[in-house]
Amino acid sequence: MKVYGITNCNTVKKALDWLKANNVDYEFHDFKKMGISEQKLNEWNEKAGYEKFMNKQGLTWKQLDPAIKESVKGVAEALPLMQQKTSMIKRPVIEDGGFLFFGFDEAAYTAHFKK
């Protein structure tokens, strides 16, 4: 299982704390240190649609130049922007086999990991 995120994100911290408390082993991929590949973003887009993991509520999006925001019309603009500004990706991203989840939701985690 792999968890993608950044270490100073409170939502990522909550998720990692939950995983540890529930004895769920994971590998952590730090966006800030390791970036994210175009291939991985395309994979997530194919499975969930980029709108599901593009965080327009966060500070990174809000601080973008309005012209850049306006230029994001679809996947062709969104994925390169998220690759460049990984803080725009909703965190954490959890991959566990066929399970792909964006963000922290204790009920969803419990349903998946405590089967």
Q: Which residues are catalytic?
A: 9
**Sign of the alpha-carbon dihedral angle for 61, 107, 110, 20:** positive
Please list the alpha-helical segments (H only) found in the chain: 10-21, 31-34, 38-48, 50-53, 59-62, 66-71, 75-84, 106-113
How many angstroms separate the CA atoms of 53 and 40, rounded?
12
